[in-house]
Amino acid sequence: MAGPLSHVRVLDLSRIMAGPWCGQVLADLGADVIKVERPGVGDDTRAWGPPFLRDRSGEPTREAGYYLSVNRGKRSITLDLDKAEGQAVVRALAARSDIVLENFKAGTLKRFGLDYQSFKAVNPRIIYCSITGFGQTGPKRDAAAYDFMIQAMGGLMSVTGERDGMPGAGPQKVGVPIVDLMTGMYAAVGVLAALARRERTSDGDYIDLAMLDVQAAFLANQAMNWLASGNTPKRGGNRHPNIQPQDVFPCADGFVALAVGNDGQFDKLANILGRDEWSADERFATNPARVRNHSQLDPLLREEFAKRPRADLVAALEHAGVPCSPINTVPEVFAEPQIVHRQMLRDLPHPTAGTVPQVVSPLNFTNAPLAFDRAPPLLGQHTEELLRELGLGSAGERE
């Protein structure tokens, strides 16, 4: 496989979203990612549908869209981890791997002899990343966790959603499993950092990554707003808490997301709206003033936007260099000329469906370009292949 990690092998014992997302990032970068799954069932997300991919005859396959979104580029082997034989194969794979990903409950894999210390005994250079809801230590270490509850517990939902007193007010989750995705990204950063360190020291490492910690970490400016001021951040709808005007505004025939980032852009916005006097108004001339006087500026903007067709206003703002956008649906995203030009959506060969659409990695390397030629695998698709590579014969011979 191509890519900057074509020399790296990853043993992926994870399932659902966070761990598999990390594994897919590494696979896109060229790593050989081996996905270990339960015989007959596989990753839970294979059944998280509809929708399901359809085969060449139009019948649903066993691959749900959820599964297909996080498992590109991997090889699948089915092993029963409750049995000594399955555990032995996993240890043999670990002996040949650089990185291990797992998201079992704390302590589970130790019972099977598949924990970091067991793998380190056969491969001292192994980099082992454990992903859990709450980490390997602390009062909640044994509790199960899902993205939705971590968005709630970690404060994200307290700052997401329409503000009180407005129609539709109330806490909202983000429309994609953002904590899972961010945890997967942190996992990828962590294992690659450990890999870089290993080049200098020859030592592997163990990484303890918790979803709740990740959510706390990416509260970012909202956390610092509270730490700096003592004021608890609140839901503000689409309004930015620190930069104005940034919000969604209704035009005569649709909605526009406006993201003014500095005073110069505000001057251009005022000019396009025919309200040059706003730039000299002390209430609006600077960003801190606009944030303080948001309640006065907002209705003036809404009055002007409501007069204008969306396409005309977006075109004028874009021409002037004022950041704005129509609010695209998912189909509109992949019809967007910029996305089409960047080839973010591609069709990969698939053994039962013929092809499967994939939203590919946004990373573009000049000297080690990425290749997308391995679809999310069928359950156990590479079991025989991997057993032969390990010198263990075929699955049939081992039964």
Q: Which residue numbers are catalytic?
A: 180
Cα 325–328–330 angle (5° rounding)? 150
What letter does residue 367 receive in the DSSP assignment?
S
Point out which residues pair with 36 in neighbouring strands. 77
Backbone angles phi, psi at 300, to 5 degrees: -65, -45
With CA atoms as reference, report the closest residue to 350 among 15, 77, 53, 57: 53
- Helical H runs in 96-233? 108-111, 116-122, 147-153, 178-201, 211-217, 220-229
**First-to-final CA distance of the chain:** 32
83 Rama class: left (phi>0) / alpha (psi -120 to 50) / beta? beta
Point out which residues pair with 247 in neighbouring strands. 258
- C-alpha dist (Å) from residue 84 to 90, 112, 146, 350, 377: 10, 8, 30, 33, 25
30 Rama class: left (phi>0) / alpha (psi -120 to 50) / beta? left
With CA atoms as reference, report the closest residue to 33 among 101, 128, 117, 103: 101
User: Order of strands, edge to edge, in the sheet holding 324-326?
Assistant: 246-251, 254-259, 324-326
